[in-house]
Structure 1
Amino acid sequence: MMRKYASLLLFALILNGCDDGDITVNQIDFEDVPEAQTCTVENLLVYKLKTQESLLLQVPENTFEEDATPDGIPDQHNIDNSSYRLVYRGYDGTIAGTYICSLIPPTSPKVIDEWFAKSGVIEITTTQTVTTPDANNATTISGYNHNITIKNVTYSVSGVDVTVPEIKFGDFKTKLETTLDLKFDETAAQCPTSGQIYNFIVSGAAITIDDIDANLIQNSATPLNQPRVAVISSTKNKLLYRVFNSTLTEDYFCKSPVPSTPSIKETWAGADGVANQSGYIEVTTTGDGPNAFKHTVVLKNVKLTKGNSSFQLGNTFAIGSFSTQVAN
């Protein structure tokens, strides 16, 4: 249908070649095509195909961010036919993704219609793709869905400007660039001066609690099934999960100022909690030999956030255990 429509339009343009006025086209329709595909990451080429048509969108690397956009506020980019390009093509035969992504374009099928966008606004609405909660009600982010709409597109067709009010390019899915490793062992630690509680994974991830409530860690055993409890917030009992660009060792922690290496790749923060409902810390303390106590730190119903993205650590998430000594 689109090929027939395009041919009729071009025929009309030929008949009206002396008319300098703009022509408005109601629709370029690729909505029924499944999600968009891509060829490369650098100078990203995203495309949709029909049997004998393609809609090609070229954008800079990192245009599709790993974060959800705020409700009703999509990312916007102006088509400039340089960094941001949009091209519609019609062919004289059937095409496939291998044709679009070939370094040396095949000789067949041939391009018989080609419309380069001169202007327009690319709007990208991004939502996170979250896994189904497991038995512990924990979730993870597996990637992001980017819904692309292009507004007020002006093509140059045979020297005449053709305006398309809206093109619903559709969905383009990306996977997480960084895998979030949350498999901490049972061995946590506490810094003697700052009181920071931490655990880390050598490959480059750490979870920490800063500005600890003084009542959480005490050298006395807690009654059975009565842990000490404190709510997570941005000012007290601050929970952070960080991913680093290289490996970690014990030597990174408990230093002031904080070492600049390894550098931090991304940071997730614990959302403010509600007492006995969500986002709180439980500490169970038991004796650990003469003049020593073992503290087991568990997070309950915690949500980690970064920008507009978030996921659940689950009903229970163990940070680990560490021991303190009572001075003689």
Structure 2
Amino acid sequence: MKYFQTIFICVLLLSSCDDGNLITENFVFENAVIQKCSTSNVLYKINNAESLILNAPETSFPNTETGLGTPRVVTITGTTSLVYRKFAESTTTANICDTPTIPVLEEWTVSGGTMEITTNKVLDGSGVTVAYNHNIVFKNITFVAPDKQVVYDSYIFGNYRTDVVNLNFDYTLVTTQNCGGNNLIFKYNSNNALLLDVDPTLFANAVTPIGSPRTRVINSTTNKVIYRVYNGSLNTAFFCSAITPAVPTITEEWIAQDGVTGISGEIRVETVAVGAQFKHTITLYKTTFKKGILTYIYPTNDNFVFGEYITP
């Protein structure tokens, strides 16, 4: 009797070990830090010859805090993928971010599941937000390789930091200009420029009552505000040429986001008479600039004085 019981138990154990080709495998990266490729959205961890590679859109990591107990949830499919690779020898960043130069012995891809991201501010000693920390945890994922798979209910990827952007909006001593013949109002300083392509009626030659400026809501069609950085020095002719010169070229472009009347994203103009001319003081109210997922809000006191613009 004991003989048959022993055989029965062995058969059960063998059957369970082979069920669905589920095997015991460990992907150990607890002591590895998350790194990012310089030319792509790839985040990765390296442990000697092993690597864990996450490819996710930048929009998965906005500089916005998540609520308590309500992480941002991203489905692992399509544009978001997770891959484990084992190389023939210790690997480096170049083998992750560029074409591998050493053989890949194993590759496991993840099917199904989600990525939960909890985002919190990082403050400096003065209480100023300097970055955001994104804690990444994978839920209900399955690593799959030929004829085998490993399932995790929860797998901690780690912390990824995105810094707060500080753009160079130093135009205090710079003259506000317009080329004539178009609606572009601009200021430039060395290799950067702040551009307003706005409704010209904002600059009507009529005095505005004190405390009642003309306003227009920023939008992407008729009232655009853009900050650009170029790879060389600028001059007035660059902006006023009938055909934009080939150089310098744009290296960064930050677009002011659509506003809401009286709440955010407004262009405000106060006009006074100065002899036979009119002086228009231009202020940007609660304006948010974005490049991809990066966000820049300037200034902290809600108002940024763009400058004074004179019309005859």
Rate the CA distance shift 1:38–1:311 in 2: closer, same or farther, 3 A: closer
Single out whichever of 279-288 and 64-73 deviates more from structure 2.
64-73
Match of 1:293 among 255, 278, 300: 278
Matched, 1:197 2:196: no
- Counting matched residue pairs gives 269
Structure 1: state its 5+ residue gaps: 1-14, 89-98, 104-114, 133-138
Correspondent of 1:250 among 236, 241, 245: 236
- CA change 1:142–1:194 in 2 (3 A) is farther
Task: Name the counterpart of 1:313.
Answer: 298
Q: Does structure 1 retain, via aligned residues, the 8 Å contact 2:129–2:164?
A: no
Between 234-243 and 255-264, report the one with greater CA deviation: 255-264
Map 1:158-307 onto structure 2 (within 5 A): 161-165=148-152, 168-175=155-162, 180-186=167-173, 187-203=175-191, 205-214=192-201, 216-288=202-274, 290-307=275-292
Partner of 1:92: none
Deviation at 1:178, TM superposition (A): 7.7
Tell me, what secondary structure is at the counterpart of 1:243? strand
Superposed displacement of residue 42, structure 1: 7.2
Residue 45 of structure 2 corresponds to 47
Query: Who is 1:57 aligned against?
Result: 52
1:140–1:312: 8 Å Cα contact kept in structure 2?
no
User: How many angstroms apart in 1 are the aligned matches of 2:257 and 2:303?
Assistant: 15
Match of 1:110 in 2: none
Deviation, structure 1 residue 210: 1.0
- Give the drift of 1:73: 4.6
The match for 1:24 is 22
State TM-score, norm by structure 1: 0.61
Instruction: State the distance in 2 between where 1:183 and 1:117 align.
Output: 50
Please tell me the root mean square deviation across aligned C-alpha atoms, in Å: 4.7
Counterpart amino acid of residue 216 in structure 2: A
Structure 2 unaligned regions, length at least 5:
1-12, 63-71, 95-104
Counterpart Cα distance in 2 of 1:264 and 1:128:
31
Shift of 1:196: 1.0
How far apart, in 2, do the equivalents of 1:224 and 1:302 lie? 22
**Secondary structure at the residue paired with 2:240?**
coil
Is residue 27–residue 166 contact of structure 1 (8 Å, CA) maintained in 2? no
* 1:29-60 deviation per Cα after TM superposition (whole angstroms, max 9, x unaligned): 769x48833397579783277xxx9962257x
Higher RCO (C-alpha under 8 Å, 6+ residues apart): 1
- Distance change in 2, residues 1:279/1:100 (3 Å): same
Aligned to 2:85: 86
More helix by share: 2
Give the secondary structure class of the aligned counterpart of 1:253. Answer: helix
- Are the equivalent residues in 2 in contact too, given 1:124–1:146 (CA < 8 A)? no
Could you list the per-position Cα deviations for residues 249-295 of structure 1 after superposition, in whole angstroms to 9, with x for gaps in the alignment?
2222133333343222332222222222221111122334x423322
**Identity of matched residues, %:** 22
Q: Deviations 1:285-309 (Å, cap 9, x if unpaired)?
A: 2334x42332211011122234454
From 11, 34, 39, the equivalent of 1:37 is: 34
In structure 2, how many angstroms separate the alpha carbons of the residues matched to 1:140 and 1:269?
Answer: 22
